[in-house]
Amino acid sequence: MNKLPININDLINARTVEWERLEFKEGWNPEDVLHTMCAFANDFHNLGGGYIILGINEKNGRPVLPPKGLCKNIIDKIQKEIIELGYKIQPYYHPIVFPCTFKKEQVLVLWCIGGQSRPYKAPISLSKLNNRYVYYIRKASKTVIAKTQDEKELFELASKIPFDDRMHHTATIKDLDLGLVRGYLQQVKSDLFSESAKMDFVRLCRNMNIVDGSEEYVRPKNVGLMFFNPEPYEFFPQTQIDVVHFPDGPGADSFSEKSFKGPLDRMLTDALNYIKSQFIEEKVQKFPDRAEAERRYNYPFVAIEEILTNAVYHRSYEIREPIEVRILPDRITIGSFPGPDRSITDKDMQECRFISRRYRNRRIGEFLKELDMTEGRGTGIPKILQAIKKNDSPKPIFHTDENRSYFVVELLLHPAFAKDKEPELRPELQPELRPELPLQGRILYVLRNGEFSKSAIAEKIGHKTVSGELNKQVRNLMKAGLIEYTIPKNPNSPKQKYRLTSKGKSIEVKK
């Protein structure tokens, strides 16, 4: 008998409410179940499908406890009818059914994984006279018929299976580590944990939906390799988090770099622990007129935690670029590839409104949610803003380009720490234009007077040729966002020049 991949007590508790991934049904209503199965299979918001729980009534979206349960003598009959219902969906689709005991009552849990052959449609009625099929989707806590625009989007989503849910044809079942699998099941308190030591490994992996293929050709899914292989970067190059520390700014010669690799959850946890222990500082201010002291942090760690988790969740694992965390004297930036969904406008980002629910990696999100590392309900940005407000830190800054090829979140240093750091922040920002002073400041001074080619910059600062050091400092200034190309679409154009960005213009450089 299959075991539910998460603990049923965690799935149903006093705080549980129906939402896009969960629906309660008091009894057996084949037509309602059919439509909800179809909706979960379509997985319109890429949340990983959902659960239908039979035997528990709901009131105002919350489970009515203790449950009434189902009669034991009809559970087998219901399971057989569920199989028949699956054949009525086009293309046919079957959930994984788990008979469970909850609060001493028998319930059936239908785990409806997002289907690989979407879009799915189902008959609007089980009447023999009905011949109308429609597409069902989940909207909030309801199963609804897809409207014209929703139907169009559903077909667009169906054009490809999400990368994390695909089979990896060059890997084998041996590339999945039983120890990592059991460690995960134990952490999420799954009923499968007690069975996993003696269960056939392929069957265990099928129950967790981390493998696919016929019995003679079982292959891991990408998400399985990402969480349950000790070295996923061997299959997905640059699956890592690089933490780069520039103690004197990006233009200085000294910096340190530490890379974190391994299963996604461990990689994320290790990187966060390192950042917290090495770079988060606390300042306590006492007041004579009250007992409570005021505690402030240079950066709110909760915000960093949420941003970095979102980067792991939403990055593309087909792009061979790491997630990069840059620790600068006056800010922390977290960048990943590609950028946010195009449904989020530039204005939305400026106003910190990220309301898209089109998630790139639905299975990665599913595992991170089970591990309580993310909620996946559009709460990320509000949580970040709340942490920043509580710490009285400046608002975050979001960066991307027209093509949404990257996404960078910038957290600014708390003002209370700025005075302590000011002498070492950016020593090149107010240089005199003398050869022995930092080269970056001299380049910035030249560009305050207009747009110039690299050779023209070299001439104006007294260099006979474009030296390697000049090339290096121009690149560093571009990475820092202080200067930019005048012809960004053709970096190698013979007419290419450089100019200050708005950020670069805000820097005071004295001659």
- Average pLDDT, integer, range 133-147: 94
Judge if 432 and 418 occupy the same domain.
no
Domain that holds residue 216: 173-231
- Stretch (H or E) spanning 246: none
Would residue 166 count as lying in a domain?
no
Q: Given a cut of 50, is residue 56 above it in pLDDT?
A: yes
How big is the CA angle at 315 (ends 350 and 345), to the nearest 5 degrees?
Answer: 25
Place of tokens 């960048």: 335
Q: Given a cut of 90, is residue 172 above it in pLDDT?
A: yes
Per-residue pLDDT, 328: 93
Per-residue pLDDT, 358: 59
Judge if 433 and 417 occupy the same domain.
no
Question: Of 199, 231, 263, which residue constitutes the final position of a domain?
Answer: 231
What are the C-alpha distances in Å from 371 to residues 14, 82, 231, 456?
19, 30, 20, 56
Number of domains in the chain: 4
Cis peptide before 329 (omega within 30 of 0): no
Task: Provide CB contacts within 8 A for 152, sequence distance 6+.
Answer: none
Judge if 87 and 197 occupy the same domain.
no
Per-residue pLDDT, 493: 83
- Average pLDDT, integer, range 269-297: 87
- What confidence tier does 356 reach under pLDDT thresholds 50, 70, 90? low
CA distance 88 to 34: 8
The closest alpha carbon to 157, from 213, 117, 123, 187, belongs to: 117
Per-residue pLDDT, 354: 64
Of 18 and 298, the one with more pLDDT: 298
- Dihedral class, residue 24 (left if φ above 0, else alpha if ψ from -120 to 50, else beta): beta
Per-residue pLDDT, 159: 66
At 23, which CATH number? 3.30.950
Question: Of 387, 422, 457, which residue constitutes the final position of a domain?
Answer: 422
- pLDDT tens for 63-87 read 999 999 999 999 999 999 999 999 9
Q: What letter does residue 242 receive in the DSSP assignment?
A: E
- What confidence tier does 463 reach under pLDDT thresholds 50, 70, 90? confident
Per-residue pLDDT, 133: 96
Judge if 487 and 381 occupy the same domain.
no
At 373, which CATH number? 3.30.565.60
Q: Given a cut of 70, is residue 395 above it in pLDDT?
A: yes
- Average pLDDT, integer, range 368-396: 84
For residue 377, count other CB atoms closer than 10 A to its CB: 12
Would residue 2 count as lying in a domain?
no
Judge if 143 and 201 occupy the same domain.
no
- Average pLDDT, integer, range 17-41: 93
- What confidence tier does 430 reach under pLDDT thresholds 50, 70, 90? very low
Per-residue pLDDT, 509: 62
- Average pLDDT, integer, range 127-134: 93
